[in-house]
A and B are shown apart, each in its own frame.
Chain A
Amino acid sequence: DAGVIQSPRHEVTEMGQEVTLRCKPISGHDYLFWYRQTMMRGLELLIYFNNNVPIDDSGMPEDRFSAKMPNASFSTLKIQPSEPRDSAVYFCASSYPGVGNTIYFGEGSWLTVV
């Protein structure tokens, strides 16, 4: 399997623009997670899905952030409008069915908002 695939790998955008990050989980994994990593706060959970249904979105910073999972093989994280403080690495991860199983991370999307 190709692993968790994220796109774009790098994006530089201007403040106020809409940003869409994409993720393809590993086939057969029914959990999908979006995490954000910054120097100040480290890694943080934003939202996760089980069988395409959002389970916990308490980490989503504010209404400017939204995430969808229209099917088992695709998820998006959208920021609209983007702000400089959104600059971070956004990781998508997926895991096997079951309790606390191994988690597989994508390579991350490096976002810079100027």
Chain B
Amino acid sequence: KNEVEQSPQNLTAQEGEFITINCSYSVGISALHWLQQHPGGGIVSLFMLSSGKKKHGRLIATINIQEKHSSLHITASHPRDSAVYICAVGRSRNSGGGADGLTFGKGTHLIIQP
């Protein structure tokens, strides 16, 4: 079993729909990251969460530490949101603080049709 599981693997929706992508993890974490990868290959960090909820424009990310679960929501989806969305966790093995290398989910391939 992977340490980071995402669902769905693929999602096709119509423009304007509300999108939810889920991420579950099985290890202790220092932080959870949501990343976006466009067809050209570049990876952009959308959010870094250790608790609660964050919002940026039409994107909302939530995390429930007790349930080891996070969701990424996109409101009023648009074709330019089409990309692969990747959940990644930093392991809480560095008790002295500092960053950790990330462990990644397999990604969710999102297509928004006009």
Question: Interface on A for B, CB 8 Å cutoff?
Answer: 31, 33, 35, 42-45, 47-48, 50, 56, 59, 89, 91, 93, 95, 98-105, 107-108, 110
- Flag if A105 contacts B48 (CB, 8 Å): no
| Given A43-B88, A43-B104, A100-B48, CB of A110 within 8 Å of CB of B41 | yes
A33 to B102 CA separation, bound complex (whole angstroms): 9
Of the candidates B33, B45, B99, B104, the one whose C-beta lies within 8 Å of that of A50 is B99
Q: Which of B93-114 contact A (CB under 8 A)?
A: 97-107
**Which chain A residue shows the least CB distance to B106?**
A42
For residue B27, CB closer than 8 A to chain A, the reply is: no
Once the chains bind, are A44 and B104 in contact (CB under 8 Å)? yes
B76 an interface residue at 8 Å Cβ cutoff? no
Residues of chain B with a CB closer than 8 A to A47's CB? 101
Number of CB contacts from chain A to chain B under 8 A: 66
User: Out of B30, B41, B97, which one reaches A108, CB within 8 Å?
Assistant: B41
Give chain B interface residues in 12-30, CB to chain A under 8 Å. Answer: 30
In the complex, chain B residues whose CB is within 8 Å of the CB of A42: 104-107
- Whether B98 and A103, one on each chain, are in contact in the complex, defined by CB atoms closer than 8 angstroms, is no
B42 CB–A CB distance under 8 Å? yes
> Is B86 at the interface (CB under 8 A from chain A)?
yes
Q: Is the CB of B43 within 8 A of A91?
A: yes
**A102 cross-chain contacts in B, Cβ below 8 A:** 45, 48
**Which residues in B have their C-beta under 8 angstroms from that of A35?**
102
Chain A residue contacts of B44, Cβ below 8 A: 105
Having A43-B88, A99-B31, A100-B31, one finds 4 other A-B pairs with CB under 8 Å, namely: A43-B104, A44-B104, A100-B30, A100-B99
CA distance A45 to B103 in the complex (A): 7
Q: Mind listing 5 A-B residue pairs with CB under 8 Å?
A: A42-B107, A43-B86, A45-B103, A59-B101, A100-B48
